A and B are shown apart, each in its own frame.
Chain A
Amino acid sequence: DQQVKQNSPSLSVQEGRISILNCDYTNSMFDYFLWYKKYPAEGPTFLISISSIKDKNEDGRFTVFLNKSAKHLSLHIVPSQPGDSAVYFCAALSGGYQKVTFGIGTKLQVIP
């Protein structure tokens, strides 16, 4: 039972355009959401997060949007750069639980 779902396994975007990565969740107890970026043969690195009390969080070229009623969040990368090519994991945390639940990841390719 996947509580965090990333339904698009891959995405290709032209350099300079917007990349939109989507994530859905089923557990209404999740109160914090995170995006991690992973290059091949490396560990994931934290990218950006958002609390369930907010609907938007922005950090430079990266913005995460949260729609609690739809149990949906998205990561926007503007403008996309070739160095953004990686696998992006959506993750969620519920208070009191000592673990992060990850989606299966979306592989982003930014084409120069």
Chain B
Amino acid sequence: DGGITQSPKYLFRKEGQNVTLSCEQNLNHDAMYWYRQDPGQGLRLIYYSQIVNDFQKGDIAEGYSVSREKKESFPLTVTSAQKNPTAFYLCASSIAPLTATNEKLFFGSGTQLSVL
């Protein structure tokens, strides 16, 4: 049963702490993405990766870091430099880098991060 798995579903962060959100996919997709959703705002792109060992900053990368050591995995670290980390984080993947003929993103079920 192919899909994208995000864990944990809920995560709490203390002041000054780094936390890592997990994202694993078994869809054999090349590209993976991290989005953040805040109330009253659309999904905003944090980072994306088109291929293993390569990733690019999105619109709101400050305070976040990622790695792409394996095709299946794209973990997101929320560092202490991210001053407003409370949000719903969504991981997504696509078959190949996005084009007008391959435009679909497949999303995980999300991680709700809150600050203690």
Q: Which of A32-47 contact B (CB under 8 A)?
A: 32, 34, 36, 41-46
Q: Interface size on A (CB < 8 Å)? A: 28
Provide the bound-state CA to CA distance between A98 and B100, in Å.
10
A99 contacts which of B4, B48, B108 (Cβ < 8 Å)?
B48
For chain B, the bracket of interface size reads: 20 to 34
Contact A100 B110 (CB under 8 A): no
B residues with CB within 8 A of A: 4, 6, 9, 31, 33, 35, 40-45, 48, 50, 56, 58-59, 90-92, 97-100, 103-110, 112
Interface of A is mostly: loop
A residues with CB within 8 A of B: 2, 4, 6, 9, 31-32, 34, 36, 41-46, 49, 51, 89, 93, 95, 97-105
Interface of B is mostly: strand
**In the complex, what's the smallest C-beta–C-beta distance from B72 to chain A, in angstroms?**
17
Provide the bound-state CA to CA distance between A98 and B44, in Å.
13
A100 contacts which of B9, B98, B108 (Cβ < 8 Å)?
B98
Contact B48 A31 (CB under 8 A): no
Contact A43 B98 (CB under 8 A): no
**In the complex, what's the smallest C-beta–C-beta distance from B105 to chain A, in angstroms?**
6
Contacts of A4 in B (CB 8 A): 42
Contact A43 B100 (CB under 8 A): no
| CB nearest neighbor in A for B56 | A98
Provide the bound-state CA to CA distance between A27 and B25, in Å.
32
| CB nearest neighbor in A for B90 | A43
